[in-house]
Structure 1
Amino acid sequence: MPATKSLPRAALAALRGEWLGYAVLALVLLVVLPLACDVFRLNLIGKYLSYAFVAVGLVMLWGYGGVLSLGQGVFFGLGGYAMAMFLKLEASDAKSTAIQSTPGIPDFMDWNQLTALPWWWEPFRHLPLALLGVVAVPVLLAFVVGFAMFRRRVGGVYFAIITQAVALILSVLIIGQQGYTGGVNGITDLKTLLGWDIRTDGARLVLYFVNVALLLGAMALCRWIQHTKLGVLLLAMRDKEDRVRFSGYDVAMFKVFVFCLAAALAAVGGALFTLQVGFMSPSFVGIVPSIEMVIFAAVGGRMSLVGAVWGTLLVNAGKTYFSESFPDLWLFLMAALFIGVVVAFPDGLAGLYGKYLGRRAGETPQEPADGIPAKTA
């Protein structure tokens, strides 16, 4: 049969495989896990899924844009801190803090002899402004860093190192400014959201489903972007950056856009993490957690949105199981897991799925035969 006649059938098979992957993931997250796990374990899985937002963003940034960031923990942490600031202010009303030297401010500020709430904390008294801050603050930082670097054509390993430096600087800053950020302990003892106790089993169940719904929505948004002309240009930019530039496109701003997108997704994950766990600390901002987040995407497959979620679940479930069952050996077992997956499945879990079905589960798009799309006015 001529190749031209087989293309529609191949495309249809790829589309079916893609939808099957999403349907299976949604079924597992929305039905199987809630029925199979108690509230404690479900809350733990919800914590894992908050990391999956970072992995999904890395699929767009690293897999499609060809930009490796080793500082995504920065944006995860900023989103988490923005939500934690609102929750902490709600928990620090005058009645609850009456025994403090200065009632009405967070306890760690009182311990550090602050007598008034800093001005930049004031907007976080209001939930709409706090939610805006969850996304706006990380995206603004990503825009500043991305614009400064990409305009000067800084990329590759140099950009990765710079993002690591940003992660280190922010974690040191948070720890050093204990009176304003809670220091090494972070912001803790978060209890309610608009009077709703987030520590109850019912609240944890609701927050799990909210997390899953937002994660599936984020995946749908990223998949829509992949199918647009912008998605094609990101792939072309990753493989032939100079050719895209010579075609008249502003490569730097494309990179800035996808970097800001990944930052926004990571920040949403951080906010959901804070709601489900009840605290936020600088341990989630530094270099080590940022590298772990890249591992989530690599294990799942850096070109696969569905694979990124499965990779996040596998790595974190392995960490939990090994640390509970083998407390003295779990770090070595996690290293063995990473090495084994990379050696056996160089394209991640999505590559394993594609190997047995003769395709990449419909996740890896084919570049157009015409190459880079023509620039329109």
Structure 2
Amino acid sequence: MTKLKPHLSLGGIGVFAVLLLAVAPSVLTDHWLSNLGKYCCWAIAAVGIGLAWGRGGMLVMGQGVFFALGAYSMAMHLTLETAGDGVPGFMVLYDPLAPLPAFWEPFRSTAFTLLAIVVLPVVAAGILGYALFKRRVKGAYFAILTQALAVALATLVSSTIRETGGDTGLSDFKYFFGYVLNDPANRTMVYLITAGLLVACLLVVWQLYRSRFGELLVATRDAEERVRFLGYDPANVKLVAFVGAALMASIGGAMFVPIVGIITPAEIGAAASILMIAGVAFGGRASLFGPALGAIAVGWGQSSLGSTWPEGWTYIIGLLFIVVILFLPKGLSSLPARFRAARRGPGEPLAAPAATRQLEGVTS
């Protein structure tokens, strides 16, 4: 894995920001701008997966859990904002005299909601990650456990119809922190916030990748025992990346709600988590832009092919995923490197292995 030049990566983020924040709102219709906002939500979560999986080697197949924490925190606030001082309509259907559940009440506050979107995934990922990494759980065991948590949470939400809406989810939001969601100008504002958050996440990850922590994270992925012998605790390194990925997934879930207008267990379960992983693998998990672009591409495929071929689009996505894994295991982002390698003269030396380079940087 070659290290990207800092000025090229930063310039790419600048071009990406111009395309999302300036070009897209001026050329896309309201429908496609809303769809692009939805893809950006998945891309925010994908950037975090790239950090944890691509650089940290942790196959996080349960990001739907943290996506749900942000999404349902936001959805509960928007539902209460729509209901005013009363009880949400779906609760009245089951019991007109039922009081508002106690855990809903704090979400009337804007400050509490925003705090919950940030704090809940950090605390949950911190506890889970500490318990797993300190016991050196990794590989397939880690992936299966995280995916099982996503399945368990989706099942729990489906069974709590009176508290969370069950399989029908939460929907019919009229306001977004006081702004009317039906107003096209306000919907554009929500999109711009989402796109801006995606750019901010890319900047944060770009800075992490070029920092000493980023070098240590790659070294932990490629040579964990050597990192431990050097005096570092790989569990702490993994924990930081895992918590960062969880926070980004929560932010993506929070912005998904006002853009799409609904959140259900189908958006947070195992299938949704696997779709996020597929987008990251498709774009290139170890690159900076690969996870985001892959998530946007998979999202576009879901919307475009899903509307014309509802029962078959997943087969096309699956076929593309298999082809990429077989012939481009590092994703589409590895094509430029392969092209440069093909043009390299036979006498030119190859780069040193990634683990060796990263460990040299950590110990220097």
TM-score of the alignment, normalized to the shorter chain, above 0.5: yes
Determine which of 36, 39, 47 is the counterpart of 2:38: 47
Equivalent residue number for residue 223 of structure 2? 240
Are residue 326 (structure 1) and residue 309 (structure 2) matched? yes
Deviation at 1:16, TM superposition (A): 4.5
TM-fit CA distance, 1:28: 2.3
Give SS of 2:360's match: coil
Question: How many angstroms apart in 1 are the aligned matches of 2:248 and 2:28?
Answer: 27
- Quick check: 1:14 aligned with 2:5? yes
Task: List aligned pairs for 1:349-360, cutoff 5 A.
Answer: 349-356=332-339
Q: 1:31 to 1:367 in 2, by over 3 A?
A: farther
CA 1:177–1:262 in 2, change beyond 3 Å: closer, same or farther? Answer: same
* Aligned-partner Cα distance in 1 for 2:354–2:222: 14
Instruction: Give the conservation status (yes or no) of the 8 Å contact 2:218–2:355.
Output: no
CA deviation vs aligned residue, 1:204-257 (integer Å, no higher than 9, x gap):
111111111111111111111112211111011101111111222122122121
Does structure 1 residue 290 correspond to structure 2 residue 273? yes
Distance 1:235 1:368 in 2: 10
Is the aligned partner of 1:26 residue 2:17?
A: yes
Deviations 1:7-54 (A, max 9, x none): xxx98x834432343233223222332233101101001001100011
Distance 1:369 1:136, change over 3 A: closer
Select 1:106's aligned residue among 73, 88, 91.
88
- Residue 112 to residue 219, structure 1, CA distance change in 2 (3 Å): same
Preserved contact between residue 223 and residue 355 of structure 2 (Cα < 8 Å)? no
Q: Which amino acid aligns with 1:190?
A: F
Residue 87 of structure 1 aligns with an amino acid whose one-letter code is L
Match among 161, 168, 172 for residue 151 of structure 2? 168
- SS of equivalent to 1:120: coil
Query: Over residues 307-336 of structure 1, what are the superposed CA-to-partner deviations in whole Å (9 max), with x where a residue is unaligned?
Result: 111111111112222123334532322222
The share of aligned pairs that are identical, in percent, is 38
Residue 64 of structure 2 corresponds to which residue in structure 1? 73
Q: What is the identity, as a one-letter code, of the residue corresponding to 1:297?
A: V
* SS state at 2:286 partner: coil
Structure 1 position 358, deviation (Å): 5.7
Q: Say if 2:264 is the partner of 1:281.
A: yes
Please state if 1:119 is matched with 2:102. yes
In structure 1, the residue matched to 2:134 is 151
Question: What residue is the counterpart of 2:240 in the other structure?
Answer: 257
For residues 295 and 193 of structure 1, do their structure 2 counterparts lie closer, same or farther at Cα, with a shift above 3 Å needed? same
Q: Is the 8 A contact 2:227 2:359 kept in 1?
A: no
CA separation of 1:177 and 1:326: change in aligned 2, threshold 3 A: closer
TM-score by length of 2: 0.90
Aligned partners of 2:274, 2:358: CA distance in 1, in Å? 36
The number of aligned residues is 352
Instruction: Assess if the C-alpha contact under 8 Å between 1:146 and 1:256 holds in 2.
Output: yes
Would you say the 8 A contact 1:244–1:372 is kept in 2?
no
1:314 maps to 297
Counterpart residue number, 1:82: 73
Check 1:285–1:39 CA distance in 2 against 1; reply closer, same or farther (3 A cut).
same
CA offset digits 1:46-86 (Å, max 9, x no partner): 00110001110011101111111110011011100000111
Once residues 358 and 73 of structure 2 are traced to their aligned partners in structure 1, the CA distance between those partners, rounded to angstroms, is: 45
Deviation at 1:121, TM superposition (A): 1.3
Amino acid at match of 1:33: A
Give distance in 2, aligned partners of 1:63 and 1:29. Answer: 24
- Output the amino acid matched with 1:258: A
Equivalent residues in 2 for 1:329-368, closer than 5 Å: 329-356=312-339, 368=357
| Cα contact 2:45–2:252 (8 A) shared by 1 | yes
Check the 8 A contact 1:232/1:367 in 2, yes or no: no
Q: Which range moves more in the overlay, 270-279 or 312-321?
A: 312-321
Amino acid at match of 2:88: P
Q: Aligned partners of 2:275, 2:57: CA distance in 1, in Å?
A: 18
- Root-mean-square deviation (CA, aligned residues, Å) is 2.3
Residue number in structure 1 paired with 2:362: 373
Instruction: Assess if the C-alpha contact under 8 Å between 2:215 and 2:358 holds in 1.
Output: no
Write the mapping of 1:212-227 to structure 2, written as runs, cut at 5 A. 212-227=195-210
Q: Is the Cα–Cα contact under 8 Å of residues 323 and 330 in structure 1 kept in the other structure?
A: yes
> Which 4+ residue blocks in structure 1 deviate beyond 4 angstroms?
364-367
Unaligned runs of 5+ in 2: 343-352
Amino acid at match of 1:43: S
Give the Cα separation in 1 of the matches to 2:231 and 2:283: 34
